[in-house]
Amino acid sequence: MRKQVSGYVNGIGTAVPAYSSTQQKAAEFMADVLQLDERDSRRLMALYRHTRIDQRHSVLADYVRPKGEFTFYANTPGMEPFPTVSQRMGVYRQEAVPLALQAIDDCFQSYPDFNPQTITHLITVSCTGLYAPGPDIEIIEALGLPTSTQRLAINFMGCYGAFNGLKTADSIVRADPDAKVLVVCVELCTIHFQKKTETDHLLSNALFADGSAAVLVESRPRPDQSFRLRSFYCDLLPEGKEAMAWHVSDFGFEMTLTSQVPTFIQQGIGQLMERLLDQCNLTLDDIGYYALHPGGRRILEVIEEQLGITAYDDRYAYEVLRQNGNMSSATVLFVLKEIWNDLTAGEAQLDPDRPNILSCAFGPGLTLESMVLESVVTQPELVTLESSSALAQVL
């Protein structure tokens, strides 16, 4: 009987753009652009403080430049004429791949024994930009990979897109154990800033940021540390379909993100986790780490309430949210990287009875995606007494 093959995450890399703004400065920018009066400005400042975000990153320098020195937005009252979809996609074409290549390099740095030229498949994930020939081809050219490298683009799925990339990579290596799959998420959320005062837009502007993440998936664990892809489960909450959406408008991509999203997640997360864990004969007692997508502070809190876990259990998500905000599909991979780094540095001790990582993310639909990974530390083979004696004779 053929041995069951699993997919293993053997490298994780992340990257953010150079331009960083504190949440306070971002709120001041928005209040000025939206031409809010003193009362509404105070309310906006309170909303931004409530997010538990300290800073966010953008490919656009305008968010950190004084008014009058913008190079993307117009230096006029109300920033008119407002950038069109075409102008925003021009920024995406210019900035997405360089940021993705930084994440890829970081991924390879985390796995120095890997030869990038052995990559057989490339999966790109993004919901913030489209063009063809696209980022997949540019990445192959930049890395000097064979033109025969197989490519797949996963687009417009929102914050849960990385799960579809990982599921596809897992299926590929299970079907072909010699495959080596690079999954790259790159999101430039800030190029889609909407100059509107409806609650949906105020929430989006307060949360989203730019970032990229890359993971390498193989059919065998690396010699020191890997994350085995154990199980995936996806479900829909149709009653929440109107609560989260992502549409192309004349002036960028517009996010619908109502305050009802946490309520819908609260209603569905328990059953989602139960079905996911049942697939691999686990319970929450078997989970040692949590890699929840930090879609927002309240989303994390309702998941903790429903699963009976603490903010400390969820500390990796809060740290990513604090340092980077919500970077759509790339964000959950940032959380996994935090866990990976702690285990590598010895900051977190792997519990052999609870090596499993529970992860989930949400997006339009209302879609609930989840997975269980297992942290695998490969132990070197022990030298037996007989082989030790034989080695001594040779020496």
Residue carrying the six token digits 């020191």:
224
As beta bridge partners, residue 187 has 211
CB 167 within 8 A of CB 6: no
Spatial separation of the C-alpha atoms in residues 74 and 350, rounded to whole Å: 52
Among 185, 244, 180, CA closest to 15: 185
Alpha-carbon distance 178 to 118, whole Å? Answer: 10
**For the residues of 76-129, what is the DSSP string, one character each?**
SGGGSSPPPHHHHHHHHHHHHHHHHHHHHHHHHHT-TT--GGG--EEEEEESS-
- Give per-residue burial for 83-101: e unless 16+ CB within 10 Å, then b: beeeebbbbbeebbbebbb
The one catalytic residue among 159, 185, 234, 360: 159
Helix, strand or coil for residue 134? coil
- Residues 97, 140 contacting (CB under 8 angstroms): no
**Annotation says 159 is catalytic:** yes
- Residue 307 sits at the vertex; the CA angle it makes with 296 and 336, to the nearest 5 degrees, is 55
**Residue numbers annotated as active site:** 159
